[in-house]
Amino acid sequence: MKSTLLFLSLTLFAVQFAAAQKVYPTLGKVIYEDPAFEKLLPKTSQVEVLASGFDWSEGPVWNKDGGYLLFSDVPKNKVYKWEEKSGLSVFLEPSGYTGLGMYSDEEGSNGLIIDSKGRLVSCEHGDRRISAMPLKGGGKITLADKFEGKRFNSPNDVTEHSNGSYYFTDPPYGLSKKHEDNSREIQQFGVYRIAKDGKVTMEITDLTRPNGLAFSPDGKTLYIAQSDPEKAVLMSYPVDANGKIGTGKLLYDATPMVKAEKAGLPDGLKIDKDGNIWTSGPGGLLVLTPAGKLLGRIEMGELTSNCAWGDDGSTLYLTVDSYICRIKTGTKGAGW
């Protein structure tokens, strides 16, 4: 009888432990191109799938104060919230298009950040603007929706510099007919800066499909991913003390990987505390040194759009087509 009770007690403990320690399915495979990559992702590293069923997940950002992840589902015009205890919920709808009828197949918000003022800053495809919304109550305000009186194409990704300026990219992906849309008012797919006084300047004019962007830990370099299958590259640009962007140079060319039929393009990216670049790209996620050396990859087997640091700064959350994923790392994000 005692042995039966002991067995039942152990079984109950095992069930309770499993319930407390959620077990998630896994996806993808870590590829080590350089031995140094093991310090960033140990051999035991696995990508966990936290949620699924999205049309196109994008723009992940971790709210440090609330301890939860926010991300866009661009076609569904929603921002979702995910947290460990309660799982998934809709955080904001509509997220990027507030007009009547259907605007395009990617009308919602895309890139998201939480700025130094604690606001959710969104790249809104349908409303063609950069907006800011307090997370503790209050409506949105427009940070920028025009350059020299002309409407943006579809702001895609945004980052904030330590000097308080915002920088964002403006490709055509949110327009109904993309680059051929007759509502386009600006011919360049530019990279813009919103200064602290609200003035908007076009900082970069010669990229064909600028997409994700992020600053080095010291703020002196801006990295930009280009989602052009004919020139799928990661560029680096010097940033002067006044926030102006200098002449760029090629950091990494992923075009051969595209030509080798690895699915995906350079898209969203984030930086770790040592300046390494974690960027979506052909095949999944690429990890590069600040000098542009490929350390390793995470082959996802699905189109990977973006990533963000979360938890204590050592967990990397990934938006992967219809999935939300995470992987524990051996480093921390810049600024944590």
Among 267, 274, 311, 321, the active-site one is: 267
Sequence-distant (6+) residues with CB within 8 A of 71 are 57, 58, 59, 60, 61, 79, 80, 82, 112, 317, 319, 324
- Each residue's pLDDT tens digit, 166-216: 999 999 999 999 999 999 999 999 999 999 999 999 999 999 999 999 999
Does the structure show a pLDDT above 50 at 15?
no
**Is 267 labelled as part of a ligand binding site?**
yes
Q: Look-up: residue for tokens 């973006």?
A: 306
218 annotated as a binding-site residue:
no
pTM, two decimal places? 0.93
Which is nearest to 70 in space by CA: 19, 18, 121? Answer: 121
Is 211 annotated in some ligand binding site?
A: yes
Tens digit of pLDDT for each residue in 88-126?
999 999 999 999 999 999 999 999 999 999 999 999 999
Burial class (CB in 10 A: 0-12, 13-18, 19+), 14: exposed
Q: Which residues of 292-325 are buried (b: 16+ CB within 10 A; e: fewer)?
A: eebbbbbbbebbbbbbbbbbebbbbbbbbbbbbb
Instruction: Catalogue all structural domains in the chain, each as residue range(s) with its CATH number.
Output: 59-206 (2.120.10.30)
Question: Strands of 78-83's sheet, edge to edge?
Answer: 57-63, 68-73, 78-83, 87-92
Whether pLDDT at 300 is above 70: yes
Q: Is 267 a catalytic residue?
A: yes
| Cα–Cα distance, 328 to 336 (Å, whole number) | 15
Residue with tokens 């992840």: 69
pLDDT tens digits, one per residue of 255-288: 999 999 999 999 999 999 999 999 999 999 999 9
Q: What is the pLDDT of residues 225-248, one digit of tens each?
A: 999 999 999 999 999 999 999 999
Indicate whether 1 pLDDT > 70.
Answer: no
